[in-house]
Amino acid sequence: MYRVLINRNEGRILVTGKARDLKLLHEGWELLFESFDWDEAFEYAMKIAEDEVIEWYYDEEVKKKFVKGLSIAA
């Protein structure tokens, strides 16, 4: 599950598939969106971003594209 979290005070948006990042909800972050698709979560973050900085884990993006490539090749 990929999630889009926002910290309005810091002007940051995080796209994450890591369950451990849910602890951020206790540190002033809000959960805005959930999806089983990384691209969908990232596109949502891009759509809502104004002046916020968007952050994500590079390894999640690469893994998504690798798995997608494997399914096309099969």
Give the chain's domain count. 1
pLDDT at residue 37, rounded to an integer? 94
pLDDT tens over the chain, length 74 residues: 999 999 999 999 999 999 999 999 999 999 999 999 999 999 999 999 999 999 999 888 777 665 555 555 55
Structural domain span for residue 52: 2-72
pTM exceeds cut of 0.85: no
Residues 48 and 12: beta-carbon distance below 8 Å: no
Q: Which two tokens stand for residue 55?
A: 């952050």
Q: In the prediction, which pLDDT does 60 show? A: 85
Within 13 A of 23's CA, how many CA atoms are on the CB side?
A: 3
